[in-house]
């Protein structure tokens, strides 16, 4: 029996972009202006999906940059705006139509994904009125006619499923001449200045998630940002879900970085900053040399954080509590961070409190743990106002924990170490190495003095060691 090809007709031609083929072709050509070439090897890219008058320049910049790449299939991981989705929603057969013609669906690729029934489903209904895939197609048709697509929608908040689905996409891309596009806008309807703070923080979080092999970091960053900015916006990124899946896909393909190409928001186009939408464009890449995973904190930022820590202790002395820090104009201060704050009088420890995993933004954790080090360390009496003048504050910002295969992997003078056996655990920061001459003494003291374990527990197979590094800085 004859089965005609399924053609998905344009849903937003004449709304998001021009319905007239000649006018559309001219508009797209005007937007296709590449910026600086990506420094790393491109695995995929981020492009916004708003009306072309607002986001066309951002989208065009990344499409122009990938024009010469040898791909035959573009996986478009996009935001689903029209219905709630529990997993990835594909349109698995047929073609999409735009005023510039048809774009065929890579049915073989879609069939491979649909074998993962817990992660993907064939759901044409989700694509009927959706614009997030469609608006990317005229750009694709302009740079690479004949390339097939895999149209895939996400909007679930299940970060674990998104990571698993993204990695499945990455696995399916191996052995194929394929590239992926994440179709997402950023903040929705805050004032322009708030959009800048939130959007640049989201884009930095995406970079940090890639550099630290941690899609869950990106999820946490968005939750922390939205908690601070919810009175101005209802989302930090309307495509948080596909951005997370894209990070996982890139990591599966060996990616380790995100390079921002262009950032803007609608107010920069319209001149009205009262309620804007943010747009980012960039590349998921494999860096030529391994990028540093630590937050980039310059001398000015470090001085500002130390001043915040001291003010936090002063506030605690007066009110008995610390206050959460507002959304910062510094994107680094809005990132999830694991932090320790140490107080010293001369060469003597006066308090030290922190966490090994991110529990809040860098600014919030510095303020909270400064107060805790001063007033909640059970080894010391609370700090007095007179004593505070003698105290020097030190802040340690930790890298993510990495499981060590054995004590041989611990680098003296470099690594902090977290030891865990059963319900007992403890950590020494890298700064503690100065008190020991040998690794064996450091690890034995850590087990006995901090974790309540036998001194030689670090040698046992049942004991797990984790390492981390710190960026530490102190008052002069």
Cβ partners under 8 Å of residue 43, min gap 6: 179, 180, 249, 250, 253, 254, 255, 284, 285, 286
d(CA 84, CA 80): 8
Give the pLDDT score at 379: 94
* Helix segments in 157-191, DSSP class H: 159-173
53-80 per-position pLDDT tens digit: 999 999 999 999 999 999 999 999 999 9
pLDDT tens digits along 217-253:
999 999 999 999 999 999 999 999 999 999 999 999 9
C-alpha dist (Å) from residue 187 to 195, 217, 230, 394, 410: 6, 18, 11, 35, 42
Q: How far is CA 159 from CA 6, 98, 166, 403, in A?
A: 32, 33, 10, 22
Global pTM? 0.94
CA distance linking residue 355 with residue 397, whole number of Å: 10
- Which segments of the chain have a pLDDT < 70? 1-4
Q: Are the C-beta atoms of residues 411 and 423 closer than 8 Å to each other?
A: no
| Residue 187: Cβ-neighbour burial (10 angstroms; 0-12, 13-18, 19+) | buried
Domains, the chain: 7-286 (3.40.830.10), 299-397 (3.30.700.20), 402-470 (3.30.1490.150)
Q: Give residue 371's Cα distance to chain centre.
A: 28
pLDDT value, residue 323: 79
Instruction: Give the list of residues 6+ apart from residue 472 with CB closer than 8 angstroms, or none.
Output: 394, 395, 396, 397, 429, 430, 431
Per-residue pLDDT at 4: 60
């Amino acid at each position: 029996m004859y089965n005609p090809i399924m053609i998905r007709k344009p849903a937003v031609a004449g709304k998001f972009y021009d319905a007239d083929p000649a006018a559309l072709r001219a508009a797209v050509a005007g937007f296709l202006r590449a910026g600086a070439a990506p420094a790393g090897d491109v695995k995929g890219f981020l492009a916004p999906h708003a009306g072309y008058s607002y986001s066309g320049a951002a989208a065009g910049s990344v499409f122009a940059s990938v024009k010469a790449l040898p791909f035959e299939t573009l996986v478009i991981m996009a935001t689903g705006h029209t219905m709630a989705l529990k997993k990835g929603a594909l349109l698995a057969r047929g073609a999409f139509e735009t005023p510039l013609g048809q774009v065929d669906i890579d049915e073989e690729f879609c069939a491979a994904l649909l074998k993962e029934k817990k992660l993907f489903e064939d759901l044409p209904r989700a694509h009927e009125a959706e614009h997030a895939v469609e608006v990317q197609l005229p750009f694709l048709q302009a740079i690479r006619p004949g390339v097939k697509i895999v149209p895939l929608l996400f909007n679930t908040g299940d970060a674990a499923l998104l990571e698993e689905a993204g990695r499945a996409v990455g696995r399916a891309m191996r052995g194929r001449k394929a590239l992926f596009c994440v179709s997402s806008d950023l903040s929705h309807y805050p004032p322009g200045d708030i959009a800048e703070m939130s959007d640049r923080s989201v884009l930095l979080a995406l970079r940090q998630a890639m550099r630290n092999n941690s899609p869950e970091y990106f999820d946490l960053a968005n939750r922390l940002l939205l908690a601070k900015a919810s009175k101005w916006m209802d989302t930090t990124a309307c495509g948080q879900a596909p951005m997370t899946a894209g990070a996982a896909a890139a990591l599966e393909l060996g990616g380790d970085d995100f390079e921002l190409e262009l950032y803007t928001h609608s107010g920069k186009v319209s001149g009205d900053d009262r309620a804007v939408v943010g747009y980012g464009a960039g590349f998921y890449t494999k860096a030529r040399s391994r990028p540093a995973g630590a937050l980039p904190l310059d001398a000015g930022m470090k001085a500002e954080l130390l001043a915040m820590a001291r003010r936090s202790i002063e506030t605690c002395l007066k009110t008995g509590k610390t206050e959460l820090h507002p959304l910062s104009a510094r994107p680094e201060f809005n990132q999830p961070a694991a932090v320790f704050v140490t107080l010293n009088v001369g060469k003597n420890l006066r308090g030290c409190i922190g966490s090994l995993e991110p529990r809040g933004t860098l600014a919030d954790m510095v303020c909270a743990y400064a107060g805790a080090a001063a007033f909640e360390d059970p080894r010391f009496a609370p700090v007095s106002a007179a004593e505070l003048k003698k105290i020097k504050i030190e802040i340690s910002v930790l890298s993510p924990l990495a499981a060590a295969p054995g004590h041989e992997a611990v680098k003296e003078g470099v690594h902090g170490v977290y030891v865990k056996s059963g319900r007992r655990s403890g950590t020494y920061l890298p700064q503690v190495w100065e008190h020991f001459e040998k690794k064996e003494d450091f690890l034995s003291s850590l087990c006995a003095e901090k974790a309540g374990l036998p001194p030689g527990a670090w040698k046992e197979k049942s004991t797990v060691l984790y390492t981390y590094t710190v960026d530490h800085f102190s008052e002069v």
